[in-house]
């Protein structure tokens, strides 16, 4: 396995949302089958330039998310590479039955793109948050669930999705993320090792990865050596990689922009417990409560999904 020097300086990149739209444009240049299906969401999806450049490859359904997924299904069934693009909150709740039946059960390779995911909409409140999406989609078979951490993972995920012949869900936010926190290897279902250490393992996904990485650097200053895994694919889970970093008994701290119920943390805990691991374990995410009001950063800080919060939680866990 690749080991990595600690990078004290992370190069800040663009929002993953912008990387998504730029990648869509690059793909559409050479592939007329690429279709973006939007629910009055081309602006929020940064797809206005895409639509101008490829008017035949964007389909507007209006504010009608059930129809969004149904239409994307129909396009995919006719051989199009259909990307259904809508805020993650609506896409995975309002159209859940279409995802379950039309996409997953019916084996149609629709690419479901959840934009402005998690608490990206911040103070707009819980109507616009998606803290349930991993949980509900994990309970549906035949779907790959992906939350890229950085710009590199986002572009790789979109490119991989275009070639997928099975359903995939990819969600990301709209805040600037690092360009690349690790290596340039990407494959759905294979986590990335961003940093290695033998005292503690952060198992993180999506926009929870960067604060975990920052906390690991901070802990290093305290003489605590942490591993950081970017588990961009929540399903199928890279159980081999997680087991490897659980096998010396070190505490495990999972980090996600999702409810603590049913997300990455519970997936990891379930696997490890059923396979005999008894490591100290902590799931960091959004609690089972009404979410506090504030910006994404304020919400992250409030629940300890931050350099400071995760450093503190890690130290507590090591006691």
Partner 1 sequence: MTAKELKDKSIELRRKTLEIIYNAKAGHTGGSLSIMDILNVLYNRIMNVSPENFNDANRDRYIQSKGHSVEALYTVLADRGFFPEEDLMTLCQYQSPYIGHPTKGVNGMEQNTGGLGHGLPICCGNALAAKKDNSGVKVYTVLGDGEMAEGSNWEAMMFAAHYKLDNLCAILDYNKLQITGSNAEVMGLEPVAKKLEAFGWAVKEVDGHDYDALIETFESLPFEEGKPSFVIAHTVKGKGVSFMENNIKWHHGVPSAEQMEMAREELLIKEEV
Q: What is the nearest approach in angstroms of partner 1 to the Cβ of residue 21?
A: 21
Is 67 a binder of partner 1 (CB under 8 A)? yes
Is 31 a binder of partner 1 (CB under 8 A)? no
Is 194 a binder of partner 1 (CB under 8 A)? no
Interatomic CA distance for residues 143 and 234, integer angstroms? 10
Is 70 a binder of partner 1 (CB under 8 A)? yes
Is 71 a binder of partner 1 (CB under 8 A)? yes
Nearest residue to 133 via CA among 82, 177, 170, 160: 170
| Residues from 102 through 141 that contact partner 1 (CB under 8 A) | 102, 105-108
Is 55 a binder of partner 1 (CB under 8 A)? no
Q: What is the nearest approach in angstroms of partner 1 to the Cβ of residue 157?
A: 23
Q: Which stretch binds partner 1 (CB under 8 A): 101-109, 119-127, 142-150, 269-277?
A: 101-109
Interface residue with partner 1, options 17, 61, 115, 177 (CB under 8 A): 61
Question: Could you give the angle at the alpha carbon of 273 between the alpha carbons of 269 and 275, nearest 5°?
Answer: 125
Interface residue with partner 1, options 12, 43, 53, 97 (CB under 8 A): 97
The count of residues in the chain is 319
Site residues (vs partner 1, CB under 8 A):
56, 59, 61-62, 64, 66-67, 69-80, 82, 97-98, 101-102, 105-108
């Amino acid at each position: 396995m690749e080991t990595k020097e600690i990078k004290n300086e992370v190069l800040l990149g663009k929002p993953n949302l912008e990387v998504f739209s730029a990648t869509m444009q690059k793909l559409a240049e050479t592939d007329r089958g690429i279709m973006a299906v939007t629910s009055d969401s081309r602006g929020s999806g940064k797809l206005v330039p895409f639509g101008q450049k490829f008017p035949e490859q964007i389909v507007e359904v209006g504010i009608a998310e059930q129809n969004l997924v149904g239409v994307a299904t129909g396009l995919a069934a006719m051989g199009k590479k259909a990307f259904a693009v809508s805020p993650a909150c609506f896409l995975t709740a309002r159209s859940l039955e279409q995802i379950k039946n039309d996409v997953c059960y019916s084996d149609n390779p629709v690419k479901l793109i959840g934009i402005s995911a998690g608490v990206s909409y911040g103070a707009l409140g819980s109507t616009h948050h998606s803290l349930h999406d991993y949980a509900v989609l994990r309970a549906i078979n035949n779907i790959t669930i992906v939350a890229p951490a950085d710009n590199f993972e986002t572009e790789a995920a979109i490119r991989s999705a275009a070639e997928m012949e099975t359903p995939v869900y990819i969600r990301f936010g709209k805040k600037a993320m690092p360009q690349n926190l690790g290596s340039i290897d990407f494959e759905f279902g294979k986590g990335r090792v961003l940093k290695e250490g033998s005292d503690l393992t952060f198992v993180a996904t999506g926009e929870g990865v960067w604060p975990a990485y920052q906390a690991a650097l901070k802990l290093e200053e305290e003489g605590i050596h942490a591993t950081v895994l970017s588990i961009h694919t929540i399903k199928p889970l890279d159980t081999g990689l997680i087991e490897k970093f659980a096998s010396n008994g070190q505490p495990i701290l999972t980090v996600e922009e999702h409810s603590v119920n049913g997300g990455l943390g519970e997936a990891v805990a379930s696997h490890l417990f059923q396979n005999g691991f008894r490591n100290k374990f902590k799931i960091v995410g959004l609690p089972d409560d009404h979410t506090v009001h504030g910006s994404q950063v304020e919400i992250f800080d409030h629940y300890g999904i931050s350099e400071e919060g995760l450093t503190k939680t890690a130290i507590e866990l090591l006691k």
